[in-house]
Amino acid sequence: MGSPKEMHPLLADLFKRPDLEVLTTSSTAWADIRPTYVIDNPARPLAIARPRNASEVSDFVHAARRHGVKISVRGGGHDVFGRSIAEGCLVIDMRKMKTIEIAQDRETATLGGGVLIGDVIETLASQKLTTPFGYIPTIGYAGWAMMGGYGWLAPRFGLGVDQIQRARVVTWQGDIIEADSELLKGIRGAGGNFGIVVELGIKIYPFEKAKIQATVRKYFSGYNAMTKSPFGAVSPFWYPKRDMSGWMFAVNFAWSSPDMKAGRQYLGQLAALGDAADTSLVKEMTPTELINLIVSWTPGRVYGFEACNGVSFAKVTERAADVVGEFLAKLPVDSANVLLIHEMRGPSAEPDPGSCFGARLPHSVMELVGITINPDNVKTSTQRYRELYGALHGTGDALGVTYASLTQTRDTDTSQLFGKEHQFVMDLKNKYDPEGVFDNTEPRLRP
């Protein structure tokens, strides 16, 4: 490290505070702290600040503003475009702010701004509680929830954005404030564009397990009322759990007709006889077991910060299905390549006047994941997925509104993203961030 005279003035200022943790490229911990989920984002931040509380976040904002340095905020660092790290900025890494406090009434929880989804779910599950959560447990909860928050349990309880009840924010001036209703509305959809969220209050729910007596009764009542098909054979059975703590209920199903469409419809009727039955799963799972299973499926750090994107559809039309079919007819480029769909229905699709999140209609988000484990595959994979993105939009069936967390910055039209709330969001941005201190935040509201 050079002498103070050779340092950037911001660093010289911050290093006068030994109580603050600040990392630069010469720091021993840099190689462990700097990487994000996507490895090959070339951005070179000026430094990484690691606050432990709201007061230290305020100190970092004051210092950055004093020296004219932009800020980017990192939660889980799982953004598939690597956008939590920006060139020449001061990265405020929130991961030390990971407190989780459950209220006495067990209806709300208070989360630190850097807590990860997996930690939230594990803590809640230990108290027989839960809340909607994203598909990958290493994603930062705050960023996931504030940008919309598609994921497990959303059809029942709403999106992540719908769980936010309160927020504590550090403003562009370094003030620590409790968000009022206006600011909360902006946070619920436009995320950290108006300040650094250091604390969230969210809704939580009892984790309810179906009682086997009611499940059996519902199954037979419904099955007896069904019109039976000679081609559909079912065999319900119960078997002990591994730890002998209870019984598992399953149904074997066989379809003996070449009419697979009719078979799928029949299977759908059977699945409807259970409580939230999932025909792709064959065993009971707790939220903790689910996220641990997902961890086992998910690759570690990957390459391809420009290789992913998202496209939304009111429904996947035949034209869109043909595009996907043609894509899947080609061999994958890398073992990390994925194509998956997130569904929004039920309460998630209902308008909420207390949120600026724009995509309030039943729809599916097709996530195009072109990340790679092998860096030699990045160029080919990125091109392949970019072509898929173009072809899906070329069907004319894609929605204009998108999910910013899964969409490249260049492909995100904020006027469509927020719809009728766009002017409200822009006015709020000008009110809470007039100097552009938080302009690195997604979705980008300014050029």
- CATH number, residue 309: 3.40.462.20
Can you give the pLDDT at residue 177?
98
pLDDT in tens, 398-413: 998 889 999 999 999 9
Cα–Cα distances in angstroms (integers) from residue 388 to residues 205, 330, 372, in the given order: 39, 12, 16
**E strand or H helix that includes residue 391:** helix 378-394
**What distance in Å separates the CA atoms of residue 152 and residue 247, rounded to the nearest whole number?**
25
| Strands of the sheet with 308-313, listed across from one edge | 308-313, 363-369, 338-344
Looking at the predicted structure, is the pLDDT value of residue 362 above 80?
A: yes
> What pTM, to 2 d.p., does this model score?
0.78
> What is the radius of gyration, based on Cα positions, of the chain?
24
Same domain, 214 and 201: no
Looking at the predicted structure, is the pLDDT value of residue 3 above 50?
A: no
Q: Which domain holds residue 116?
A: 100-207+419-432
Residue 387, sorted as left (phi over 0), alpha (psi -120 to 50) or beta, turns out to be: alpha
Residue 345 lies in a domain: yes
CATH number at residue 166: 3.30.465.10
Nearest to 305 by CA among 443, 440, 408, 447: 408
**What distance in Å separates the CA atoms of residue 380 and residue 345, rounded to the nearest whole number?**
35
3-state secondary structure of 229: coil
Same domain, 233 and 353: yes
Looking at the predicted structure, is the pLDDT value of residue 33 above 60?
A: yes
Can you give the pLDDT at residue 54?
98
Residue with tokens 């092998």: 374
pLDDT in tens, 255-273: 667 887 887 888 788 788 7
Same domain, 332 and 193: no
Looking at the predicted structure, is the pLDDT value of residue 283 above 50?
A: no
Looking at the predicted structure, is the pLDDT value of residue 367 above 50?
A: yes
Query: Any idea what DSSP says for residue 169?
Result: E
Can you give the pLDDT at residue 261?
83
Residues with Cβ within 8 Å of 5's Cβ and at least 6 positions away in sequence, in order, are none
Residue 177 lies in a domain: yes
Reported as a pLDDT band with limits 50, 70 and 90, residue 1 is: very low
The domain boundary residue, chosen from 93, 109, 133: 93
The domain boundary residue, chosen from 39, 65, 93: 93
Query: Of 106-120, 285-299, 351-365, where does mean pLDDT reach its minimum?
Result: 285-299
**What distance in Å separates the CA atoms of residue 445 and residue 422, rounded to the nearest whole number?**
10
Cα–Cα distances in angstroms (integers) from residue 432 to residues 18, 171, 195, 391, 441, in the given order: 30, 7, 7, 39, 13
**What distance in Å separates the CA atoms of residue 112 and residue 198, rounded to the nearest whole number?**
6
pLDDT, averaged across the chain: 87
